[in-house]
Structure 1
Amino acid sequence: MTEKQIVVLGAGYAGLTAATRAGKRGRVTLIAPESRFLHRVRQHETAAGHPEHRPAVAEVLRGRRVRHLPARASRLDLTVRKVFLDNGDAVAYDTLVYALGSRTAWHGVPGAADHAYGVERAGEVAERLRTAERPGTLAVVGGGATGIELAAELAEAHPGWKVRIVAAGQVGGWFSAKGRRHVHTVLRGLGAEINEHRTVTAVGPEGLTTTAGRIPADLVVWAAAMEPHPLAAEAGLTVGPTGRAVVDGHLRSVSHPDVYVIGDAAEVTVPGTGTLRMGCATAQPMGRYLGNVLAGRTDKPFAFRYAVQCLSLGRREGMVQLIHGDDSMRTSVLTGLTGRLIKTAIVNGVVMSLR
């Protein structure tokens, strides 16, 4: 009897985790251009010039029945069940795992894609800072977790630079009052300037235009939002308002049940928890679950509850915000060295959990 062909698109938190688990029993083809795992939640460290922590994909897959094809998926034909690659090849599948994740969203802001660095270009930010003739002004656009971590890390690593964080709403506005105060205290203590309620309307070579006036900047890092890869919608999978593929309780596409969608690409609604947000905290549990489904270890629906939200705030500070299972905030936070050590343990555990 011919063995079913499982194809996984994407080697991020969800895709790589699913591939390693499914590859314990089945034969899997992993399609992703990366030779090393992109540890996205540590991109702020890369931008600051710290050593990267990116294990080789081959090492993560060691001992598994997984073939890695270093290519990009350019088109899907869901009728004939084939993935077409940018190198001209095509790969047939019986079961497809779509885990292409998300990318920087520019939201049509004039000049943003031309004059700002998305978080995917963290290495280029580090090089710009390293080779600059003199310190200048650096603006981080986005008051979410990525923007906060970038602003803190860059301000601490490059104290000669004036770091500004610019947000359309409040910086860390979703945290509890105690958590938000701590974030602001640490950022200001590192010398970062906080600019809230300023929507960026244009980006140019000399800085930002916002709804509250100009903000000069020699270097702009864009961490305002992420969006799913458009290939799912282009292929004909049913997607929701944000472009994420809508899935059922077993993470199967509601329009194409032979396609599983996981990670940032999936719009997942869990009873009692709600529609899951994008991020490592939700992507890797999806990958673990689906890997076990494909390996025949479970047929139960996907279940998920949140536990904490955590931030790195430079090398010596961190924050762990305690939350309810539906992602709403509790009042308590853990800060200082305790928060930093917990965040470090969680981040290190992510890599260990890939296998």
Structure 2
Amino acid sequence: MAVRIVVLGAGYSGLLAAKLVAKRTGAEVTLVNAGERFVERVRLHQLASGQPMRDLPIADLLAGTRIQLVVDRVTGLDPGRREVRLAVGEPIGYDLLVYALGSRADLGAVPGAAEHAYTVAGNDDAARLRDRLRESRVVAVAGGGLTGLEAATELAETYPELTVRLVTAGEFGGALSDRGRRHLRSTFARLGIEVRDRVRISEVRADGLVLDGGEQVAADTVVWTTGFQVSPVAREAGLAVEDSGRLVVDETLRSVSHPEVYGIGDAAAARRAGGQELRMACATGIPAAVAASKAIADRLAGRTPKPLEFRFFNQCISLGRRDGLIQFVRADDSPVEAVLTGRLAALYKETVVRSTILAARRPGIVAAVA
């Protein structure tokens, strides 16, 4: 009887892992996802600004494989019975499980965020923001990470009549080199984006933000990009997780508490040699999917799997459709002075984004170079 492998989540890491496991083993592979379509999460700020997105049915991306697609929401796990519980369908049994349920916006950290803020963390979320912007005049983007920078510049470029404000607790562009920060400041100035950094948000209201100390930042629309949280499924099932809820995995992406479970993408706390935890990103999730599929294939074949080998190379930031910033970094993700900016950087970022779909369609190409 064939080994049953179930992959939870068809995001960048889950879809790739499912296809590679099916390719490398004789296992019976089932992919479970809450929706029928692949979500290009790295483009959701574009969707929010009103740009059309490609329609990518997951069934089409699985064409020619032996993978069974189940469209349903995962509600829980029973590790003892090795079953996945679903919202609608019957439980699915597994011999090996790949846990790739991703992440969603954390709207619970600040009062009022869940009631009043919009996000770009999911397809429906970005579509709601797009519709809201049609009647907006002032937008406040909360969060100065990569998602916040991309959302603010995309909205300001697409809707020049909007007043766009970015509010962040950290230093504006603090993760960048001096050259990177200079380009970021000049781009925001060119687009007319107002920046408030080193301030903390204490409340989100219908009419904007309230900062610590009581100062108000007026906005009729708030875009929340600060912080992500993972599904509680792993914690509730008794799997070893970090305080954040991310699955604790070893150097081969296998759960430290349940060896029949592998964790990849945002849902798992994968680490580089030396202990550095990989940040939530498509750039880390795809290599983790490749490594986990190799480890699974090796163990099924009686071979000793190799540990994850990963180094950071760059941070790719789109600043609208005609500008970008590629910040080159050391292996530990710390910035060096070298950057790429302008239209060439925008083209670079677009090429990277397109390559993620190439990976989904032709995973063997990614596996060959990873």
- 1:87-166 to 2 correspondences below 5 Å: 87-119=88-120, 120=122, 121-130=125-134, 132=135, 135-166=136-167
Query: Partners in 2 of 1:150 and 1:188 — Cα distance?
Result: 15
CA offset digits 1:278-298 (Å, max 9, x no partner): 111100111122223334488
The aligned residue for residue 317 of structure 2 is 311
1:288 partner amino acid: V
The aligned residue for residue 4 of structure 2 is 5
Please state if 1:66 is matched with 2:70.
no
Query: Partners in 1 of 2:73 and 2:286 — Cα distance?
Result: 21
The residue matched to 1:23 in structure 2 has which SS? helix
The aligned residue for residue 52 of structure 2 is 51
In the alignment of these two chains, the number of paired residues is 351
Query: Partners in 1 of 2:126 and 2:188 — Cα distance?
Result: 20
Structure 1 segments of 4+ aligned residues over 6 angstroms from their partners: none
- How far off its partner does 1:273 sit? 7.0
- How far off its partner does 1:272 sit? 4.5
2:354 to 338, 348, 353: 348
Query: Partners in 1 of 2:290 and 2:128 — Cα distance?
Result: 32
State the Cα RMSD in Å: 1.4
- How far off its partner does 1:113 sit? 0.4
CA offset digits 1:288-340 (Å, max 9, x no partner): 22223334488211111111111000010001001111111111110011111
- How far off its partner does 1:91 sit? 0.3
- 1:1-355 to 2 correspondences below 5 Å: 2-24=1-23, 25=25, 26-119=27-120, 120=122, 121-130=125-134, 132=135, 135-211=136-212, 213-272=215-274, 274-296=276-298, 299-354=305-360, 355=363
Contact 1:155 1:162 in 2 (8 A): yes
Contact 1:167 1:198 in 2 (8 A): yes
- The verdict on how the C-alpha distance between 1:54 and 1:251 changes in structure 2, with shifts beyond 3 A counting, is farther
The residue matched to 2:258 in structure 1 has which SS? coil
> What TM-score results when the alignment is normalised by the length of structure 1?
0.96
Query: Partners in 2 of 1:329 and 1:148 — Cα distance?
Result: 17
- The verdict on how the C-alpha distance between 1:273 and 1:238 changes in structure 2, with shifts beyond 3 A counting, is closer
Contact 2:119 2:129 in 1 (8 A): no
The residue matched to 2:339 in structure 1 has which SS? strand
1:105 partner amino acid: D
2:245 partner amino acid: G
- How far off its partner does 1:64 sit? 1.1
**Consecutive unaligned residues in structure 1, runs of 5 or more:** none
CA offset digits 1:174-229 (Å, max 9, x no partner): 11111112112111211111111121111111111012510011111100111121
- How far off its partner does 1:107 sit? 4.1
2:97 partner amino acid: L
1:322 partner amino acid: F
2:312 partner amino acid: Y
Query: Partners in 1 of 2:291 and 2:314 — Cα distance?
Result: 20
- How far off its partner does 1:106 sit? 2.2
The aligned residue for residue 366 of structure 2 is none
- Greater mean deviation of Cα atoms: 266-275 or 88-97: 266-275
Query: Partners in 2 of 1:21 and 1:244 — Cα distance?
Result: 23
CA offset digits 1:37-95 (Å, max 9, x no partner): 11111111011001113522112111111111000110100111000000041000000
Contact 1:273 1:305 in 2 (8 A): no
Query: Partners in 2 of 1:54 and 1:248 — Cα distance?
Result: 36
Percent identity, aligned pairs only, is: 44
The residue matched to 1:149 in structure 2 has which SS? helix
> What TM-score results when the alignment is normalised by the length of structure 2?
0.92
1:287 partner amino acid: A
Query: Partners in 2 of 1:326 and 1:208 — Cα distance?
Result: 34
Contact 1:165 1:195 in 2 (8 A): yes
